[in-house]
Copies of this chain bind each other. A is one copy, B any other.
């Protein structure tokens, strides 16, 4: 199952740039890329255009295609995130996503309590209960699935399309947690109850209670994960101008 050629070119170059194999400032020539990847100019040009829109490269006449520093990359682009998760920066990317998530979810819970459509509220309660059951029984795969569904519903119910868009990335962090063995066999009982609390608060439209319970979940999650991150270097993006 191989996508189009230009898609493969994007993958190839994107992966190598994000991994650091092609460092910032490195200059590539379109012609070189043609025979390196054994594709035609049009394929390279289309790929470069996409990478350009992601902030990974810039083109200059008479110079070539220049790799840009990480501070110029679009950190919200799903492809960039995927490439970073597949690179040495996986830990830093997971931390960034977790921090974003822990900031957004309580806000999303608050908004969902105010705005979510009724059916979504009911589904959220159902999922929270099913989640608690699966957690208590130690059914880890089913628990993970329900966990992802719960948080997806929560973000979606906020009615903020940016929050909702984080669903995909959230799934990554949750599954990534299990891969790293950060998920206990039996999820914390209090945490399970907090999920139910969030759902029920949203169901009855209690915004501050929803935020509060969601905040508890996030604080616990962050403190769980923060231990493994202390060695990840932080990058400070300079404020331009």
Binding site for B on A (CB under 8 A): 6, 10, 42, 45-47, 49-50, 53-54, 70-71, 74-79, 95-97, 99-100, 102-104, 106-108, 111, 115-117, 120, 149, 152-153, 156-165, 167, 234-239
Contact partner of A75 (CB less than 8 A), chosen from B153, B165, B234, is B165
Task: Write out the residue numbers on chain B whose beta carbons fall within 8 Å of the beta carbon of A104.
Answer: 100, 103-104
CA distance A45 to B161 in the complex (A): 28
Task: Write out the residue numbers on chain B whose beta carbons fall within 8 Å of the beta carbon of A159.
Answer: 234-236
CA distance A99 to B49 in the complex (A): 32
CA distance A103 to B164 in the complex (A): 14
- Tell me whether B237 and A76 are in contact (CB under 8 A): no
CA distance A56 to B39 in the complex (A): 26
A47 — nearest CB in chain B belongs to which residue? B49
Contacts A/B (CB < 8 Å), 12 sampled = A46-B49, A75-B162, A76-B76, A95-B160, A100-B104, A103-B107, A120-B236, A156-B236, A156-B239, A159-B235, A165-B237, A167-B239
- Tell me whether A74 and B75 are in contact (CB under 8 A): no
- Tell me whether A96 and B45 are in contact (CB under 8 A): no
Task: Write out the residue numbers on chain B whose beta carbons fall within 8 Å of the beta carbon of A74.
Answer: 76-78, 165
CA distance A230 to B152 in the complex (A): 25
Contacts A99-B111, A99-B160 known; 19 new A-B pairs at CB < 8 A = A6-B49, A42-B42, A42-B45, A50-B53, A53-B53, A70-B161, A71-B161, A75-B162, A76-B162, A100-B162, A103-B104, A103-B106, A104-B104, A152-B239, A153-B239, A156-B236, A160-B234, A164-B236, A164-B237
- Tell me whether A160 and B96 are in contact (CB under 8 A): yes
Q: A46-B45, A162-B96, A239-B156 are in contact. Are A79 and B106 (CB under 8 A)?
A: no
A76 — nearest CB in chain B belongs to which residue? B76
